A and B are shown apart, each in its own frame.
Chain A
């Protein structure tokens, strides 16, 4: 039962353009969402998060959008840089449930110079 889904296993974007990574979830109990970036042979690094009471959160080149009615969130990276090439994981959790995060399967982003 995949409660958090990242349907695009890979994405290639030209340097300088916008990268848009998508994530869908099925569990209505999730009330906060996070994006992590992961390089090979390293642990995930936190990028940005959003609470369910918001629909947008911005931090520098990274913006996360949340559409609760559609149970969909997206991460926008603009402008994309070569160092952004990595695997991006969407994760979700619930303040009132378990303390665990539920992760998607990841999207491998490749920035083309």
Chain B
């Protein structure tokens, strides 16, 4: 787990503000996945990225949410104009290849609280 770094661990935002969540994958991993866990629920897939490409964003809400994984630097999950329903734990996972070929390693998550 320690290999995938997410920051911040905790983030508090007022309604209407922007939230930026960062994920640095394990060294040598070029595939990044974002998942969201609402209270008392399992993890829900949001988006799958490779360097500079969004491969699958079928789990992303249509509005306010965006993700990127630039050539240099961490992957960013951006939530604009946050609402109370965005409060959740957001987990990033990385793998060296397609997730089907090997298990993904998860970070410790960012807990977003919208007040």
Residue of A nearest to B105 (CB): A46
Interfacial chain B residues near A103, Cβ < 8 Å: 35, 42-44
The yes or no answer to A44 lying at the interface (CB within 8 A) is yes
Interfacial chain A residues near B98, Cβ < 8 Å: 99
Q: Give the interface of A toward B (CB within 8 A).
A: 4, 6, 32, 34, 36, 41-46, 49, 89, 91, 93-95, 98-106
The yes or no answer to B103 lying at the interface (CB within 8 A) is yes
Chain A-chain B contacts (Cβ-Cβ < 8 Å), number? 72
Q: Mind listing 23 A-B residue pairs with CB under 8 Å?
A: A36-B106, A41-B111, A42-B109, A43-B1, A43-B6, A44-B43, A44-B91, A44-B106, A45-B1, A46-B104, A46-B105, A91-B43, A93-B99, A95-B100, A99-B31, A99-B48, A99-B100, A100-B59, A101-B45, A101-B99, A103-B42, A103-B43, A104-B42
Interfacial chain B residues near A41, Cβ < 8 Å: 108-109, 111
Q: What class of interface size applies to chain B in its complex with A?
A: 20 to 34
Partner of A42, one of B1, B48, B100: B1
